[in-house]
Copies of this chain bind each other. A is one copy, B any other.
Amino acid sequence: VSWVEGAEGSGFGVDHLPYGVFSVGEQPRRVGVAIGSSVLDLAEVARAGLFDDAVADPSGLFASDRLNPFLAAGPGVWAPVRARLTELLVADPAPALRAALVPRADVRLHLPFEVADYVDFYSSLEHATNVGRLFRPDADPLLPNWRHLPVAYHGRAGTVVVSGTPIRRPHGQRRPPGSDAPTFGPSQRLDFELEVGWVTGPPTNHGEPLPIERVADHLFGLALVNDWSARDIQAWEYQPLGPFLAKSFATSLAPWVTPLAALEPFRVSQPPQDPPVLPYLRADRDWAFDLDLSIELNGRVISRTNFRGMYWTVAQQLAHATVNGASIRTGDLYASGTVSGPTPGSEGSLLESGRNFLADGDEVTLHGTAGPIRLAEVTGTVVP
């Protein structure tokens, strides 16, 4: 139990300790962890010498405008830092530690890390089936490759924005039903996608696949993602090379990254895979996570699902994404694809639920919990 008032029961207790980047007024950005309704300023903790010998050069890691240096440091640094922070937040606090605590209401949160490459998967069986049925009504909704590999594409890293950034309705080409030629204008079918994003740590070597049993050495943690999607633009543009402008206008990311270490108690086994997957996709431990997820539209919860039902796990995704020798860089973002459940009311997008598409002014907020841990929400409002 932490001495920080209100931390217990807030979803941001000592069992969580997610990392983010914040600033106060005109001061430079730095790294912090969220605890209760406060931020612990890690640059200040480093300056005060409170890391002791838990880590060399803590200022280099935390007096930074992005998490990337800390991400690059790897599990050998992540673990002692987490252990030391837990110690500091539980024991009687030194005055310098109290002084490093800033009310969250007083800070501005920034994109937590510089996104290197952004990859978006398509790993929910229910979502792929729902979407396949809509986009290719005359064919088997699930394509022949889907159960053999985690289908994915690269998204636009440069337009990943932090939660709270207004989402401007994109313009583009869309073809009216029955017409041969496209028209141009604002998207009429603006949608969201509920996703879980995974953030990488140390890079891998180009040319060397990352074996599935070594994924944890390169995986730091997760943050919720809203993969905004313009369905009318998508339907017209996506063949044969996949979505481009339908997705590239904005992708929202939660401001706090929850470390894998905090999620260990919530590992569960993934759904059975049939047919059996190729050996490079077989893990020696559980890589699904029991995360309750929900979508709030203008203050009302419209969908609830759980991340444990995903057909493909993040370990399978990273093993697959590197099996051709592609390297991972620090700060790569791997999003799960839309998380949809099997029942009505568990869809991860409007496209699937049959609701109206987003109107200007609509606010979408994605939530997640793992037992007592509350993932940082990701929110965005549509503007014209």
User: Which residues of A are in contact with B by a Cβ distance under 8 Å?
Assistant: 116-117, 119, 122, 132, 135-136, 143-145, 148-149, 151-159, 161, 168, 170-173, 175, 180-182, 184, 206-207, 209, 230, 233, 236-245, 248-250, 275, 278-280, 320-321, 323-329, 332
Chain B residues, Cβ within 8 Å of A143: 239-240
Chain B residues, Cβ within 8 Å of A175: 144-145
- Asked if residues B158 and A325 are in contact (CB atoms below 8 Å), the reply is no
What is the total number of copies of this protein in its complex? 2
28 contacts between A and B (CB under 8 A): A116-B157, A135-B240, A136-B240, A144-B180, A145-B236, A148-B173, A149-B182, A151-B237, A151-B241, A153-B244, A154-B156, A154-B244, A156-B326, A158-B326, A158-B329, A170-B324, A170-B325, A171-B209, A171-B323, A182-B278, A184-B278, A238-B240, A241-B242, A245-B321, A245-B323, A245-B326, A248-B324, A249-B326
Give the residue among A151, A280, A332 with the most B Cβ atoms within 10 A: A151
- Asked if residues B324 and A171 are in contact (CB atoms below 8 Å), the reply is yes
Across the two chains, which residue of chain B brings its CB closest to A155? B154
In whole angstroms, what is the CA distance A327 to B156 when docked? 10
In whole angstroms, what is the CA distance A173 to B151 when docked? 12
Chain B residues, Cβ within 8 Å of A161: 206
Across the two chains, which residue of chain B brings its CB closest to A136? B240
Chain B residues, Cβ within 8 Å of A326: 156, 158-159, 245, 248-249
- Asked if residues B182 and A148 are in contact (CB atoms below 8 Å), the reply is yes
CB distance from A139 to the nearest CB of B (A): 10
- Asked if residues A153 and B278 are in contact (CB atoms below 8 Å), the reply is no
CB distance from A134 to the nearest CB of B (A): 11
Given contacts A135-B240, A154-B248, A171-B209, 7 further A-B pairs with CB under 8 A are A145-B236, A171-B323, A173-B278, A184-B278, A184-B279, A238-B242, A245-B324
In whole angstroms, what is the CA distance A326 to B143 when docked? 30
Say yes or no: A149-B171 contact (C-beta < 8 A), given A154-B244, A241-B242, A243-B241. no
Chain B residues, Cβ within 8 Å of A278: 173, 182, 184
- Asked if residues B230 and A324 are in contact (CB atoms below 8 Å), the reply is yes
In whole angstroms, what is the CA distance A136 to B239 when docked? 12
CB distance from A302 to the nearest CB of B (A): 25
Give the residue among A144, A180, A184, A326 with the most B Cβ atoms within 10 A: A326
In whole angstroms, what is the CA distance A250 to B206 when docked? 9
In whole angstroms, what is the CA distance A173 to B143 when docked? 15
| Closest CB pairs A-B (n = 8) | A242-B242, A170-B324, A154-B154, A153-B241, A241-B242, A249-B324, A245-B324, A248-B326
Chain B residues, Cβ within 8 Å of A151: 237, 240-241, 244
Chain B residues, Cβ within 8 Å of A207: 168
Chain B residues, Cβ within 8 Å of A209: 171
Chain B residues, Cβ within 8 Å of A119: 244
